[in-house]
């Protein structure tokens, strides 16, 4: 059996490594960046220590699909030659591809793999089926494994897919998509902070870090909005993020990590108890706070932005987007399937993708979903140990199966039949 390279080519991160391994050998951003100190675009490494303040970014993938094959070739060439040190001519490639990829994009991808890099053979898989494979192997006694049926909610960098999977095949007619992912959330956070504090529209890497460290999902938005209006210590959500200065530290950080976690420990009822003294002093406190604001400081405060940004996934209509929320999207996906599958799908919901890492994400989804589901059905949501890497782990598991090579398309078959005919082998 030849060497198998497993490549989870996400819009935000590339996860790559050898088939059969537990974890990917390389996890890097799928982009090129140009710091202010450089005149050319650079390849990201696993240990990037440069000052990325106002770094320009070029990405080969937009809205989940490949739009710049030349840029992707450049990134993959660096990945295979400098980081993985593999020889494509003696290797097979297992590549993840988003659902409903256009034939022209598939043709460009095949040209990259077979003509530019010269891989020996190719297998194309979609993320939901790999997640299902990994979860069923990890929990062999679960309903998901016994029924061979699950509903994968993939909240990634570019989009959110809700995909029913049956016997390791994604049921395309039941897949629903929301055009919201981690990139849209970061852009929304940049707009909020730029409007309220300082201009951070060019600070993509920085605001990604702010989002990952400070944002969370609210279980009761109206109550949390009232708490966020309080002054001083009564405001459980206020926290300060310090920007890099380029001298003592090149990366931003949370000024008080303990204070940033206060909202997770306090009960909403206690936080909402009326405080007459605080109410009487509220006007004075607001005036003093305006006087204390120092615009020269290299930091900014976050309050209700912390939970309003992830709220986009659950209520995109609040931002004027003509999209269904995640809970409604799940119900539509399940209703598109056979009635016999519906109770099993509701009990086998799997959350994957980096955007599901927000604290309380699963609890909020359970709360929103329960009123929409018939009372005779149970709702069970499973969170993965590492939702960013588990797609790759499913691919690694598939690549180590004994009949994997027989399912691949070889370079000779591609040269004889062309891309369109070879792709039929992966059509589910």
Confidence check: pLDDT of 186 > 80: yes
pLDDT tens per residue, range 106-141: 999 999 999 999 999 999 999 999 999 999 988 888
pLDDT tens per residue, range 357-380: 999 999 999 999 999 999 999 999
Token pair recorded at residue 255: 């000024």
The Cα angle at residue 134 between residues 409 and 120, in degrees rounded to 5: 20
Q: Are 30 and 109 within one domain?
A: yes
Contacting residues for 259 by C-beta, under 8 A, at least 6 apart: 238, 239
Range of the domain at 136: 130-181+325-383
Q: Are 116 and 142 within one domain?
A: no
For residues 321-345, average pLDDT: 92
Residue 279 counted as domain residue: no
Please state, in angstroms and rounded to a whole number, the distance separating the CA atoms of residues 397 and 47.
27
Residue 274 counted as domain residue: no
* Bridge partners for 121 per DSSP: 92, 410
Provide the pLDDT for residue 285: 45
* Bridge partners for 176 per DSSP: 162
Confidence check: pLDDT of 46 > 50: yes
Token pair recorded at residue 397: 């598991």
Q: Are 137 and 85 within one domain?
A: no
Residue 353 counted as domain residue: yes
pLDDT tens per residue, range 210-243: 999 999 999 998 988 888 888 877 788 888 888 8
Cα dist from 269 to 273, 278, 304, 360, whole Å: 6, 17, 18, 17
Q: Are 367 and 400 within one domain?
A: no
Confidence check: pLDDT of 283 > 50: no
What CATH number does residue 35 fall under?
3.30.420.40
Rg of the chain in Å (alpha carbons): 23
Q: Look at strands 13-18 and 3-9 and give their pairing.
A: antiparallel
Do 51 and 35 meet the contact criterion of CB atoms below 8 Å apart?
Answer: yes
Higher model confidence: residue 54 or residue 200? 200
Q: Are 27 and 61 within one domain?
A: yes
Into how many domains does the chain fold? 3
**pTM confidence score:** 0.88
Q: Write out the H or E segment, with its range, that includes residue 210.
A: helix 204-214
Q: Are 23 and 118 within one domain?
A: yes
For residues 314-329, average pLDDT: 88
Q: Are 116 and 190 within one domain?
A: no
Contacts 24+ apart (CB under 8 A), 199-204: 202/54, 203/53, 203/54, 204/55, 204/57
Q: Are 97 and 164 within one domain?
A: no
What is the overall mean pLDDT for the chain?
86
Q: Are 92 and 198 within one domain?
A: no
Please state, in angstroms and rounded to a whole number, the distance separating the CA atoms of residues 115 and 119.
8
């Amino acid at each position: 059996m030849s060497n198998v390279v497993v490549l989870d080519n996400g819009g935000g991160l590339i996860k790559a490594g050898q088939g059969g391994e537990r974890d990917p050998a390389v996890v890097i951003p799928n982009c090129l960046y140009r710091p202010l100190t450089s005149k050319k675009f650079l390849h990201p490494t696993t240990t990037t220590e440069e000052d990325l303040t106002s770094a320009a970014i070029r990405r080969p993938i937009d809205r989940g699909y490949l739009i710049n094959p030349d840029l992707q070739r450049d990134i993959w060439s660096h990945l295979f030659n400098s980081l993985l040190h593999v020889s494509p001519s003696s290797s097979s490639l297992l590549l993840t591809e988003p659902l409903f990829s256009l034939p022209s994009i598939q043709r460009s991808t095949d040209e990259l793999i077979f003509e530019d890099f010269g891989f020996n053979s190719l297998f194309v898989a979609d993320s939901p089926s790999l997640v299902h494979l990994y979860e069923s192997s990890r929990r062999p006694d679960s309903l998901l494994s016994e029924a061979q049926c699950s509903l994968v909610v993939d909240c990634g960098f570019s989009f959110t897919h809700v995909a029913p999977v049956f016997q390791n095949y994604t049921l395309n007619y039941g897949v629903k998509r929301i055009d919201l992912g981690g990139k849209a959330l970061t852009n929304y956070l940049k707009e909020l902070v730029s409007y309220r504090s300082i201009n951070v529209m060019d600070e993509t890497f920085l605001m990604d870090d702010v989002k990952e460290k400070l944002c969370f999902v609210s279980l009761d938005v109206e109550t949390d909005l009232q708490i966020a209006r309080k002054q001083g210590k009564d405001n459980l959500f206020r926290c300060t993020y310090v920007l890099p200065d380029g001298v003592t530290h090149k990366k931003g950080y949370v000024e008080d990590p303990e204070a940033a976690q206060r909202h997770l420990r306090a009960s909403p009822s206690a936080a909402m108890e009326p405080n007459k003294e605080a109410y009487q002093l509220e006007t004075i406190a607001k005036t003093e706070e305006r006087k204390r604001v120092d615009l020269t400081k290299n930091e900014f405060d976050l309050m209700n932005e912390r939970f309003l940004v992830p709220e986009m996934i659950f209520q995109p209509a609040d931002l004027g987007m003509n999209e269904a929320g995640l809970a409604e999207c799940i119900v539509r996906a399940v209703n598109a399937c056979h009635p016999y599958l519906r109770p099993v799908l509701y009990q086998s919901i799997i959350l994957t993708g980096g955007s599901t890492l927000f604290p309380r994400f699963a609890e909020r989804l359970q709360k929103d979903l329960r009123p929409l589901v018939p009372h005779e059905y149970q709702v069970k949501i499973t969170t993965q140990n590492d939702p960013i890497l588990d797609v790759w782990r499913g691919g690694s598991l598939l690549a180590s199966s004994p009949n994997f090579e027989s399912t691949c398309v070889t370079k000779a078959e591609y040269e004889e039949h062309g891309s369109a005919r070879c792709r039929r082998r992966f059509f589910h």
